Amino acid sequence: MLPVVVVHGGAGHVPKERAELSIAGMQEAARLGYAILKSGGTAMDAVVETVAMLENNPAFNAGRGSVLNLKGEVEMDALVMDGRTLACGAVSAVRRVANPIHLARLVMDKTSHVCLTAEGASQFARAMGIPEVPEESLITDYARKRWKDNLHKDANPVECQIGKMGTVGAVAVDVQGNIACATSTGGMINKMEGRVGDTPCIGCGGYADNQIGAVSPTGHGEAIMKIVLSRLILFHMEQGKSPKEASDMALAYMKERVSGLGGVVVVDPKGTWAARFSSQQMPWAAAQQEQLHYGMFHGEDFTEPV
Ligand SMILES: NC(=O)C[C@H](N)C(=O)O
């Protein structure tokens, strides 16, 4: 059953004209993660590089393609976690970097901290030699249009976002049995400047523990934070539930308790995986035993050779 990698491209509703791009992006990312794992790479390398590929893909709300804050600017959040040591790294409200996930990994590897935010994160990026990119290079026409559409006084940006979320994430188990997760996002449309979502918060926007499994979520960040979604799923798995059962229980709880919609990708140490969501759609893909699985609507699990 090992190795395995599972990726998601955000819970929500994918507009028809973007569906093919989203699925193609998922397949490409899962193939990259699987190739890294098959050549002996670590779960951490696999999740970070798949997420970086998705950050570079303008079809998703992460890196290039991020949604804009109220002022029309890009502020991004990202997190990585290593299930072997529970080492983790995150950045929040970071600006002008192409790959926040690389910066999150550097926070884990090169500092004694777990999360760096805003200007401090940018200073750290400069110190690590990560080039600053022009903000414009991260902004797509689509993101700008959605920002403008949601500036009207009767707009409902949360509703619009539940429409089309697009955060990206990955979980993986490598041939050594090590587990990792990574999540990256531009956040919620027209969020207040400085808003920090679930993504960089350990236990909310991701968690990985070799003894239990790993989760990368997507959805309404404020709801995810209220119920600490990722760790809640792993708690259910510690109590003997499968990744699928644990995900469904936690997503149902989030819907009932705080009216939050979302989705997750999950693995356990044996390589059992799940891609589950309470939103209308969530593009996802998984690669295991030379098979690529993928889907976007409830009940879908298409397969083809990797
Ligand atoms: N698209 C998302 O999944 C949004 C992300 N969870 C956030 O609230 O920042």
Look up the ipTM and state it.
Answer: 0.97
Beta strands 207-209 and 213-219 are antiparallel
CA dist., res. 235 & res. 44, Å (int):
22
Q: Is the torsion defined by CA of 298, 186, 60, 199 positive or negative?
A: negative
Instruction: Tell how far the Cα of 62 is from the centroid of ligand 1, in angstroms.
Output: 10
Higher-confidence position of 143 and 93: 93
Which protein residue's CA is at the shortest distance from atom 6 of ligand 1? 221
Q: Give me the catalytic one of 167, 183, 185, 199.
A: 167
Query: Is residue 218 a known part of a binding site?
Result: yes
Residues 6+ apart with CB under 8 A from 147: 67, 68, 72, 189, 190
Q: Domains in the chain, start-ordered, CATH in brackets?
A: 4-305 (3.60.20.30)
CB within 6 Å of ligand 1 — which residues?
10, 61, 165-167, 185, 187-188, 197-199, 218-219, 221, 224
The pLDDT tens digits of the residues spanning 184-243 come to 999 999 999 999 999 999 999 999 999 999 999 999 999 999 999 999 999 999 999 999
Query: Is residue 152 a known part of a binding site?
Result: no
The pLDDT tens digits of the residues spanning 88-102 come to 999 999 999 999 999
Higher-confidence position of 36 and 155: 36
CA dist., res. 56 & res. 59, Å (int):
9
Beta strands 115-117 and 87-94 are parallel
Instruction: Tell how far the Cα of 205 is from the centroid of ligand 1, in angstroms.
Output: 9
Query: Is residue 220 a known part of a binding site?
Result: yes
Under the banding of pLDDT at 50, 70 and 90, the label for residue 154 is confident
The reply to whether 303 belongs to the active site is no
Whether the per-residue pLDDT at 148 is higher than 90: the answer is no
Instruction: Tell how far the Cα of 77 is from the centroid of ligand 1, in angstroms.
Output: 9
Beta strands in 46-94 (DSSP E): 76-82, 87-94
